[in-house]
Structure 1
Amino acid sequence: MKNILIPTDFSKNADHAISYALNVFKCERTNFFFVHAYADEVYGPYHNVDKETFDKQKNSIAKDSENKLNKLITDTQTKTHNPLHTYEAVSSFESLVDAINDFADSKNIDLIIMGTKGKTANSKITFGSNTVQVFKYVKCPVLAVPDQYDYNQPKKILFPSNYMLPYKRRELKLLDNMAAEFKAEIHSLYISDFEDLSLRQLDNKKFLEESLPNARLSFVRTGVENRAKAITSYINENKMDLLVMVNSRHSFLEDMLYRSTIDEIGLSPTIPFLVMQNLPR
Structure 2
Amino acid sequence: MKKILVPTDFSECAKASEKYAEFLAKKTGAELLYLHIIHTPVDWSKLTKDQEHLFPEIMESIAKAKESLKSRIKAAESMGITAAKLLIFNNTNEKIHRYAEDENIDLVVMGSHGQYGFRDHIIGTNTYSMLRRSKMPVVVVKKEIENPKLETLVFATNFQSEMGSSFAKIEQLAEELKVKLHILYVNTPNNFKGTYDIINQGRSFLKEYSNYNYDIHIVDSLSVERGIIQFLEHGEYDGIAAITEGKSDFAQYFSPSITENLISMSNKPIISLKASGK
TM-score range, shorter chain: 0.7 to 0.9
Q: Closer, same or farther in 2 for the Cα pair 1:158/1:8, shift >3 Å?
A: same
Q: Secondary structure at the match of 2:135?
A: coil
Q: Secondary structure at the match of 1:26?
A: helix
What aligned pairs does 1:1-281 form with structure 2 within 5 A after superposition? 2-39=2-39, 42=41, 56-57=54-55, 60-61=57-58, 64-65=61-62, 67-78=64-75, 80-93=77-90, 98-117=94-113, 127-164=123-160, 165-168=163-166, 169-178=168-177, 180=178, 184-192=179-187, 193-194=193-194, 195-196=196-197, 204-210=205-211, 213=212, 217-250=214-247, 251-252=251-252, 254-257=254-257, 262-263=260-261, 268-280=265-277
- Give the fraction of aligned pairs with identical amino acids, expressed as a percent: 17
Deviations 1:95-128 (A, max 9, x none): 67x34222222222110001113xxxx8655733
Q: CA deviation at 1:61?
A: 3.0
- Give the TM-score normalised by structure 2: 0.75
**151-160 or 85-94: bigger deviation:** 85-94
Distance 1:9 1:233 in 2: 33
Q: CA deviation at 1:11?
A: 0.4
Paired residues, number? 254
Distance 2:115 2:10 in 1: 18
What root-mean-square deviation, in Å, do the aligned CA atoms of Structure 1 and Structure 2 show?
A: 3.6
Flag as ranges the 4+ runs of structure 1 deviating above 6 A.
198-201
Q: Closer, same or farther in 2 for the Cα pair 1:228/1:267, shift >3 Å?
A: farther
Q: Closer, same or farther in 2 for the Cα pair 1:173/1:201, shift >3 Å?
A: same
Q: Secondary structure at the match of 1:139?
A: coil
Q: CA deviation at 1:140?
A: 1.7
**79-88 or 195-204: bigger deviation:** 195-204
Q: CA deviation at 1:268?
A: 1.1
Amino acid at match of 2:185: Y
Amino acid at match of 1:209: S
Q: Are the counterparts in 1 of residues 170 and 241 from structure 2 also a CA contact under 8 Å?
A: no
Distance 1:225 1:156 in 2: 25
Q: Are the counterparts in 1 of residues 20 and 144 from structure 2 also a CA contact under 8 Å?
A: no
Q: Are the counterparts in 1 of residues 239 and 271 from structure 2 also a CA contact under 8 Å?
A: yes
- Structure 2: where are the runs of 5+ without partners? 43-50, 188-192
Distance 1:12 1:175 in 2: 28
Distance 1:37 1:280 in 2: 30
Distance 2:200 2:52 in 1: 60
Q: Secondary structure at the match of 2:234?
A: helix
Distance 2:92 2:209 in 1: 35
Q: Secondary structure at the match of 1:271?
A: coil
Q: Closer, same or farther in 2 for the Cα pair 1:111/1:104, shift >3 Å?
A: same
Q: Closer, same or farther in 2 for the Cα pair 1:209/1:269, shift >3 Å?
A: same
Distance 1:95 1:174 in 2: 33
Q: Are the counterparts in 1 of residues 154 and 183 from structure 2 also a CA contact under 8 Å?
A: yes
Distance 1:218 1:201 in 2: 9
Q: Secondary structure at the match of 2:75?
A: helix
Equivalent in the alignment of 1:50:
none
Distance 1:145 1:190 in 2: 24
Distance 1:54 1:128 in 2: 30
Q: CA deviation at 1:230?
A: 0.8
Amino acid at match of 1:205: L
Amino acid at match of 1:16: A
- Structure 1: where are the runs of 5+ without partners? 44-52
